Amino acid sequence: MRPIIHPAAEDITVEGILHALSDPLRVHIFTAIARAECSQPCSAFLEFSERSVPKSTLSQHFKILREAGLIRSERKGVEVRNTLRHDDLQERFGALIQAILGSYSAQCARTPKNPGCPADGD
């Protein structure tokens, strides 16, 4: 099994963050992980906007989020668990990350039927 590679905190860039969050599924995954109280398995995101997401597509999305420095992934048995890289992001990008999370929540509250928004708009 190949090791899971994460960029060093000093290698995380605004451009990488914005690119990673430019896809509706990736921003949904990121916000769900950011709001979760524990690590999230990749399999939790196999459904998106009432459609099934192929595992290969989902793996690519997680790779992009990981390479941007937004999440940390760890293998636990046969599954991969994902957490927000809160400490690495907070110092340099805290305001940006909070603005993104707040804006996404507001967008979902206005239009809860948008792809990726939770059913209750939360």
pLDDT tens per residue, range 60-110? 999 999 999 999 999 998 899 999 999 999 989 999 999 999 999 999 899
Rounded mean pLDDT of the chain? 91
- The whole model's pTM is what? 0.90
Structure tokens at 25: 């599924």
Q: What are phi and psi of 50, to 5 degrees?
A: 60, 20
For 110, list phi and psi in degrees, rounded to 5: -75, -40
Q: How buried is residue 71: exposed, middle or buried, by Cβ count under 10 Å (0-12/13-18/19+)?
A: buried
Q: Is 106 or 49 the better-scoring residue by pLDDT? A: 106
CA 108 to chain centroid, in Å, comes to 16
pLDDT band of 120, cuts 50, 70, 90 = low
Domain 9-110 has CATH 1.10.10.10: yes
Angle at 27 between CA 115 and CA 77, to 5 degrees: 105
Report the sign of the C-alpha dihedral through residues 109, 112, 117, 121, in that order.
positive
- Statement: residue 121 has pLDDT above 60: no
Q: Tell me, what amino acid is at 87?
A: D
**pLDDT at 49 exceeding the cut of 90:** no
Collect all residues with Cβ–Cβ distance below 8 Å to 122 and sequence separation of at least 6: 105, 108
Q: Which two tokens stand for residue 41?
A: 């398995």
Query: pLDDT category, 113, cuts 50, 70, 90?
Result: confident
On the question of pLDDT at 122 being above 50, the answer is: no
pLDDT band at 119 (very low <50, low <70, confident <90, very high): low
Q: What percent of the chain has pLDDT over 90?
A: 77
